[in-house]
Amino acid sequence: MRSPGTTSPTAGPEPGAALREALRYALRTPTVGPLTALAVAVLVFSLTTDTFMTPGNLSLVLQQTIVIGTLALGQSLIILTAGIDLANGAITVLGTIVMAKLVFEGGNPAAALLLGLVVATLLGLVNGLLVARLGLPPFIVTLGALSVVYATSRLYSDSRSYPVTSDLLDFWGHGVHLGGVLVTWGTFLLLGLYAYFWYVLGKTGWGRHIYAVGNAPESARLTGINVRRTILSVYVVAGLLYGIAAWQALGRIPNADPNAYQTANLESITAVVIGGTSLFGGRGSVVGTLIGALIVNVLRSGLTQAGIDSLYQDVATGTLVVVAVGVDKVLRRGDTR
């Protein structure tokens, strides 16, 4: 029997162990890193400018996030299956052109809207079929789609832009005034979409299948998951989201321009990556993506208000992307150890 006075070397609370454990936990929870980065950015800009932390400005940052945020949501789903989508901006642009041109030429706004959504969803279906059925690499499929869809937009629009006059088409740009600040319907839609997909990914079979397929497709297949159908469904859902993004884009800027959103594909990937979702698939969360998209716009807004050249905004965003991928890589290495 041991006397009460003696202690074994391991029993006592080792100094710093709790902290290390907390750090370990934080690193393994994908949204902690992005959330910290967002908090730091907001804090810095709140302290360095008197204009950043105002309700009006925060409302603006949200409005600036809506289109890319929706695109990044579709991009997240695809990246979770270890895919990538380079064509999402192009699909959105074609959606805006279809909607605005038909109304401009006297068409029924509801029919134009529906057709725009259908076109975007069908393009998602085509990409999905090529990836899931023919087994072509997503990078190649969507790279091809990027050219084809942009060219189609330009051909269909005669390279001109179409103003939007329909109340239905620019709906998401309007909203309610809460305490003197405009909160657009588009903001509510964006938050609603994220909440919905957060639920779907975490709580439904389809969501679990997406993670499983992205993590290890062969294991997923062996456990009875229809891998092809899961991947196909993700591209179709993403296509629909890009159609919704097109509708939101017409609310943000009531003018459909065939040259718009040329870098949206990269911006959406940026948001996903900064949000902590792994480019290798199977790991991450859409909440992280929303935070990632917000970080990009907080940086742009804050740095502009601080009077810093727009080129430094690109430097800051690019650095964050590399850091985020670096963190992911380190975590992966930890997994295989």
Partner 1 sequence: MAHHHTVRRHSRPRRPRQGAVLLVVGTLLLASACGGGQDSAEDGGTRKVTIGLVTKTETNPFFVTMRKAAADAAEKNGAELIALAGRFDGDNEGQVAAMESLIARDVQGILITPSNTTGVLGAIAEARRQGILVIALDSATDPEDAVDATYATDNVKAGRLQGAYVRTALADRPPELIMLDGTEGSSVSQQRHDGFLDGFGIKDDSPAIRGRANTNGDRNLAQTATENLLQRTTDVNSVYTINEPVADGASAAIAARGLTRQVTIGTIDGGCDGVRAVRAGKYAATVMQFPVRMAEQGVDAVTEFVESGKEPSGFTDTGTELITDKPVRGLASHDTDWGLQRCWG
Six token digits for residue 180:
């003197």
Stretch that binds partner 1, among 26-34, 89-97, 307-315, 327-335 (CB under 8 A): 307-315
Residue with tokens 């742009």: 300
Tokens describing residue 21: 């454990």
Least Cβ distance, residue 163 to partner 1 (angstroms): 7
**Count of chain residues binding partner 1 (CB under 8 A):** 34
* C-alpha distances in Å from residue 76, one per residue of 138, 208, 241, 278, 306: 14, 14, 11, 9, 31
Residues 104/222, Cβ–Cβ less than 8 Å: no
**Residue 240: which residues within 8 A CB-CB, separation 6 or more?**
117, 120, 121, 124
Beta strands 175-178 and 181-184 are: antiparallel
Does residue 258 bind partner 1 (CB under 8 A)?
yes
Smallest distance from the beta carbon of 157 to partner 1, in angstroms?
Answer: 9
Stretch that binds partner 1, among 116-124, 160-168, 186-194, 231-239 (CB under 8 A): 160-168
Does residue number 259 form part of the binding site for partner 1 (CB under 8 A)? yes
**Does 134 interact with partner 1 (rule: CB under 8 A)?**
yes
Nearest residue to 198 (alpha-carbon basis) of 186, 210, 187, 214: 210
Interaction pattern, residues 166-185, with partner 1; x per rule: CB under 8 A: ----------------x---
Provide the minimum distance between the beta carbon of 67 and partner 1 in the complex, in angstroms, as a whole number. 8
For Cα atoms 154, 272, 133, give the angle at the middle one, nearest 5 degrees: 65
Q: Smaller CB distance to partner 1: residue 162 or 211? A: 162
Residue among 98, 140, 134 at smallest CA distance from 119: 98
Least CB distance from residue 252 to partner 1, whole Å? 8
Minimum Å gap between C-beta 297 and partner 1 is 8
Q: Closest CB to partner 1 among 268 and 277?
A: 268
CA gap 93, 99 in Å, rounded: 10
> Cα-flanking dihedrals φ and ψ of residue 181, to 5°?
-115, 135
Q: Judged by CB under 8 A, which of 20, 24, 133, 332 binds partner 1?
A: 133
* Binding region for partner 1 (CB under 8 A) out of 80-88, 211-219, 223-231, 250-258: 250-258
Give first-to-last CA distance, the chain, whole Å: 39
| The one among 115, 118, 126, 154 contacting partner 1 by CB under 8 A | 154
Q: Which of 6, 7, 10, 310 binds partner 1 (CB under 8 A)?
A: 310
262 binds partner 1 per the rule CB under 8 A: yes
Q: Which residues pair with 178 in a beta bridge?
A: 181
Of residues 71-100, those binding partner 1 (CB under 8 A): none
From 34-42, 220-228, 248-256, 285-293, span contacting partner 1 (CB under 8 A): 248-256
CA distance 18 to 279: 31
Q: Which two tokens stand for residue 99?
A: 């909607």
Contact flag: residue 160 with partner 1 (CB under 8 A): yes
What string marks each residue from 55 to 74 as x (binds partner 1 by CB under 8 A) or -?
A: -xx--x--xx----------
Kindly state the DSSP code that residue 175 receives in the 8-state scheme: E
Measured in whole angstroms, how far is the alpha carbon of residue 268 from the centre of its chain? Answer: 5
Among residues 307, 333, 335, 337, which is the contact residue for partner 1, using CB under 8 A? 307
Looking at the DSSP assignment, which residues form a beta bridge with residue 184?
175
Q: From CA 41, how far away is CA 165, in angstroms rounded? A: 38
Which CB, 33 or 258, lies closer to partner 1?
A: 258
Q: Is 255 in the site for partner 1 (CB under 8 A)?
A: yes
Binding site for partner 1 (CB under 8 A): 49, 51-52, 54, 56-57, 60, 63-64, 133-134, 154, 158-161, 163, 182, 252-253, 255, 257-262, 300-301, 304-305, 307, 310-311
